[in-house]
Amino acid sequence: MFGKGLLKGLSITWHNCFGKAVTEQYPERKPNLPPSSHGCLFLEKDKCIACGLCSKACPNNVITIESERGEDKKRKLTGYRVKLGQCLFCGLCVESCPKDALHWRPDFEHACYRHEDTEHDLFAGSEAEVRKGA
């Protein structure tokens, strides 16, 4: 039929303009991701016992932990860094934590210009998050 293609094209345009939206207008509108989406890691450092299991579970050596012995001889966390640029987002570190101290958060905007900025300080970051009331 003459003009069939044109009508089909116009119907698609019509549905896209007035039908249900199937796309999200990122970055103007942030996607509503589930809380446990593998966006970035978050450490509850008060729960962390610096056992190092998360670091050992990581297949890419992404996690670096610093600790020292307290007066009670218990290990105390003094640093926790994650090279997010090398992270596979596999979640093995989160699953291996015996204290439920490591979590995923849906924040996914990690793009940066310098490679060194892909390293995240979760020890200091945790303090910043606490101050923000997260």
| Closest to ligand SF4 by CB, 65 or 125 | 65
Residue 119 β-bridge partners? 83
Structure-token match 């990122």, residue found? 26
Minimum CB–partner distance for residue 132 and ligand SF4 (Å): 20
Site size toward ligand SF4 (CB under 6 A) is 26
Among 40, 42, 54, 126, binds ligand SF4 (CB under 6 A): 54
Q: Kindly state whether residue 91 participates in binding ligand SF4, applying the rule CB under 6 A.
A: yes
Binding string, 13-52, against ligand SF4, x = CB under 6 A?
Answer: -----------------------------------xxxxx
Q: Kindly state whether residue 122 participates in binding ligand SF4, applying the rule CB under 6 A.
A: no
The stretch among 24-32, 91-99, 110-118, 126-134 that binds ligand SF4 (CB under 6 A) is: 91-99
Tokens of 77: 């966390």
Among 63, 120, 125, 126, binds ligand SF4 (CB under 6 A): 63
3-state SS track over the chain: CCCHHHHHHHHHHHHHHHCCCCCCCCCCCCCCCCCCCCCEEEECCCCCCCCCHHHHHCCCCCEEEEEEECCCCCEEEEEEEEEHHHCCCCCHHHHHCCCCCEEEECCCCCCCCCHHHHEEEHHHHHHHHHHHCC
Residue 106 β-bridge partners? none
Q: For binding to ligand SF4 (CB under 6 A), which residues are involved?
A: 48-54, 57-58, 60, 62-63, 65, 82, 87-93, 96-97, 99, 101-102
